[in-house]
């Protein structure tokens, strides 16, 4: 074996964000030499329309026609909406093979047919020791036998029980399984029957959908795959043989059946997840969309003006809990959270709180930026944390450190009948800090500072900072007021006391942070939206139709108000637009 293991990746289709990070990891690894990424451009000839109609009707009956009409109309509407949106919102990041090749120096070869003689000659010239399959069609032995040690494949199911095709989790959900699997195995002439190199199991949660299971399998699979390749680079190439007599090989289900199952799973989740039950009706959402569209020219004018002045706002979002089971009334499904993070990464710089402070204090805010925070410190944010870590998205976790240390559930959850939403453990918090996430204080036991006397407030502020420092090894600079409402949970006395211990203080009643605004170390935050429409509206400065017409677009009036003012004085601010935008800002 050479000093570094020579790899060639076999893939197909557009570059996905998950694969981009995976390929970048392989390119950086000192044990590996990623010689090339070979993109198979072969596309199976499209059957005539009459034949596709006949096959669909034969498989799924008249319902198939309804399915095709609905999905084609939705796809057309989404394309039109995206094209319209991107006329005024330039993406800051687009994942392509060209940018990947430029950033990593790895050669990318696009071939018309990976099984063609020219492609095979290219693969032989690369002299790979190991092939790595990442998506695409089933490869013939003429390709997978070229690498000296063979070719690995990732199969996002357990083997031998679930060989074959279909979306991640489809067959397992139908069978009522409590988990799905991810398997790394050697590719052979028979589908998914090669020796197993590595495998992992992912529990299925109560309100998982095919989309959420796919996200979990993608994240788990990328980490598992990289580890398996490193194991082979270390000289351990032997896999565990499968018993070909065991298990079953599945054929991929029709598009209609996949769509039908996903609709059922989403309907189930919407009935059980309290946060999803707060979604407004289609009629109400259409009204909000129309109002948003009416004031969009005004919002665009303000955005361009602020950009020209290098005073573009920073929007700080706060979340609580991301999971696929109803742990509390603020719990957001993983697929919704990932959709929002993908949107943020595509259209906005995502900053750490330290970077936010630098931007607000300097003269470089020429585009709308975003920061992501989490309040309370819930243990079950594991998949959200894994997603943020994998993609290198900065975030700050405001924790109630006494809950972390004693393991007790939060009182605001227990009052609503939820007792399963447990806090992080000290080990969890240490790992967050070690992984580069910021950790801030949210009190000891989520105290309401509007009810504490001066001595109690001083004790909570100092003790929480000291204890977080002892657990993480670093004293926090950031403090978020629990509940965070002006005049009610933030008083002049508690605000002054917090400033003696922390560099930056955070509220939770909405609003944007515009460079040069009064307020100093006080930063405004917006509660997380449920859907992408609400998120897009927030990041366009939409504060509700009435507020925009009254001059509070981008929360310019709200940002000038004192955090200790009575609630009635801030009622015209961004807190008011939360209800109109259908946001859930659970505290």
pLDDT digit string (tens) for 267-284? 999 999 998 887 777 788
- Going by pLDDT thresholds of 50, 70 and 90, the confidence category of residue 1 is very low
Query: Tokens 């940002």 correspond to what residue?
Result: 559
Instruction: Compute the average pLDDT of residues 480-486.
Output: 93
Q: Which whole number is the average pLDDT over 332-353?
A: 96
Q: What pLDDT is recorded for position 283?
A: 85
On whether the CB atoms of residues 294 and 540 are closer than 8 A, the answer is no
- Angle subtended at Cα 547 by Cα 542 and Cα 553, rounded to the nearest 5 degrees: 45
Give me the mean pLDDT over the 8-30 stretch: 97
Average of pLDDT values for 63-88?
Answer: 91
DSSP characters for 409-461? Answer: PPHHHHTTT----PBPPHHHHHHHHHTT-EEEE--SS---TTS--HHHHHHHH
pLDDT at position 587, please?
38
Q: What is the pLDDT of residue 585?
A: 36
Residue 249 has pLDDT above 80, yes or no: yes
Q: Which segment, 45-49, 260-264, 577-581, is predicted with the most confidence on average? A: 260-264
Q: Which helix (H) or strand (E) holds 34?
A: strand 32-40
Calpha distance 280→257 (Å, rounded): 28
- Lookup: tokens for 226: 């990289």
Does the bond joining 160 to the residue before it have cis omega, within 30 degrees of 0?
A: yes
User: How high does pLDDT run on average in the chain?
Assistant: 92
Closest residue by Cα to residue 481 from 502, 503, 457, 508:
508
Per-residue model confidence (pLDDT) at position 563: 81
Judge contact between 347 and 539, C-beta under 8 A: yes
How many C-alpha atoms does 560 have within 13 Å on its Cβ side?
7
Q: Does 298 have pLDDT greater than 70?
A: yes
Dist. CA 89–CA 509, nearest whole Å: 27
pLDDT at 531: 87
pTM of the model: 0.93
pLDDT one-digit tens code per residue, 570-580: 443 443 343 34
CB of 172 closer than 8 Å to CB of 261 = no
Residue (of 374, 370, 420) closest to 398 by Cα position: 374
Among 168, 169, 133, residue whose Cα is nearest residue 154: 133
Asked if the model's pLDDT at residue 584 lies above 60, the reply is: no
pLDDT tens-digit map of 438-464: 999 999 999 999 999 999 999 999 999
Any bridge partners for residue 441, and if so which? 399, 479
**Has residue 406 got a pLDDT over 50?**
yes
Helix then strand then coil, % of the chain, to nearest 5: 45, 15, 40
% of the chain surpassing 70 pLDDT = 95
For the stretch 207-230, pLDDT in tens is 999 999 999 999 999 999 999 999
Top mean pLDDT of 46-50, 117-121, 508-512 is at: 117-121
Can you list the domains of the chain with their CATH numbers?
5-46+93-266 (3.40.50.170), 277-580 (3.20.20.370)
Whether residue 544 has pLDDT greater than 50:
yes
**pLDDT one-digit tens code per residue, 132-190:** 999 999 999 999 999 999 999 999 999 999 999 999 999 999 999 999 999 999 999 88
For 421, other C-beta atoms within 10 Å of its C-beta total 25
> How far is it, in rounded angstroms, from Cα 103 to Cα 267?
42
- DSSP for 443-456 reads -SS---TTS--HHH
């Amino acid at each position: 074996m050479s000093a570094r293991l020579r790899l060639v990746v076999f893939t197909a289709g557009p570059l996905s964000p998950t694969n981009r990070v995976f390929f970048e990891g392989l390119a950086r690894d000192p044990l590996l030499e990623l010689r090339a990424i070979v993109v198979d451009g072969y596309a199976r000839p499209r059957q005539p329309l009459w034949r596709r109609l006949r096959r669909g009707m034969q498989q799924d009956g008249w319902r198939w026609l309804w399915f095709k009409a609905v999905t084609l109309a939705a796809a057309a509407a989404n394309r039109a909406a995206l094209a319209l949106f991107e006329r005024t919102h330039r993406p800051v990041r687009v994942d392509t093979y060209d940018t990947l090749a430029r950033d990593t120096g790895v050669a990318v070869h696009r071939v018309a047919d990976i099984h063609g003689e020219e492609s095979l000659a290219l693969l032989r010239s690369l002299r790979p020791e190991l092939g790595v399959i990442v998506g695409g069609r089933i490869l013939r032995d003429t390709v997978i036998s070229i690498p000296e040690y063979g070719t690995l494949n990732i199969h996002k199911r357990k083997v031998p029980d679930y060989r074959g095709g279909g979306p991640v989790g489809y067959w397992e959900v139908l069978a009522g399984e409590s988990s799905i699997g991810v398997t790394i195995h050697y590719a052979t002439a028979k589908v998914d029957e090669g020796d197993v190199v590595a495998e992992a199991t992912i529990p299925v949660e109560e309100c998982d959908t095919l989309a959420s299971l796919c996200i979990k399998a993608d994240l788990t699979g990328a980490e598992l795959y990289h580890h398996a390749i490193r194991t082979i680079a270390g000289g351990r190439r032997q896999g565990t043989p499968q018993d070909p007599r065991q298990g079953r090989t599945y054929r991929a289900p029709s598009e209609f059946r996949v769509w039908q199952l996903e609709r059922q799973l989403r309907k189930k989740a919407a009935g059980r997840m309290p946060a999803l039950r707060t979604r407004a009706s289609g009629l109400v959402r259409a009204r909000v969309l129309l109002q948003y569209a009416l004031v969009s020219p005004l919002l665009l004018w303000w955005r361009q003006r602020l950009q020209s002045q290098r005073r573009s706002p920073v929007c700080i979002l706060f979340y609580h809990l991301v999971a696929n089971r109803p742990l509390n009334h603020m719990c957001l499904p993983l697929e919704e959270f990932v959709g929002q993070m993908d949107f943020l990464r595509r259209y906005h710089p995502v900053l750490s709180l330290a970077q936010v402070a630098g931007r607000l204090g300097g003269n470089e805010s020429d585009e709308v930026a975003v920061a992501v925070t989490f309040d309370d410190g819930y243990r079950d944010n594991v998949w959200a944390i894994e997603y943020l870590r994998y993609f290198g998205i900065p975030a700050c976790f405001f924790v109630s450190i006494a809950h972390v240390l004693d393991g007790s559930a939060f009182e605001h959850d227990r009052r609503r009948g939820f007792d399963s939403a447990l806090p992080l453990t000290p080990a969890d918090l240490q790992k967050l800090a070690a992984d580069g996430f910021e950790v801030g204080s949210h009190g000891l036991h989520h105290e309401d500072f509007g009810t504490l006397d001066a001595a109690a407030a001083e004790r909570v502020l100092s003790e929480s900072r000291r204890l977080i420092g002892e657990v993480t090894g670093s004293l926090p600079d950031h403090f978020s007021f629990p509940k965070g409402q002006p005049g009610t949970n933030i008083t002049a006395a508690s605000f002054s006391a917090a400033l003696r211990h922390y560099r930056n203080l955070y509220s939770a009643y909405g609003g944007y942070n515009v460079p040069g605004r009064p307020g100093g170390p006080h930063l405004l935050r917006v509660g997380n939206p449920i859907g992408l429409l609400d998120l897009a509206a927030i990041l366009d400065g939409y504060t509700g139709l009435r507020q925009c017409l009254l001059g509070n677009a981008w929360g310019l009036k709200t940002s000038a108000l004192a955090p200790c003012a009575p609630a009635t004085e801030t009622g015209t601010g961004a807190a008011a637009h939360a209800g109109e935008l259908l946001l859930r800002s659970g505290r």
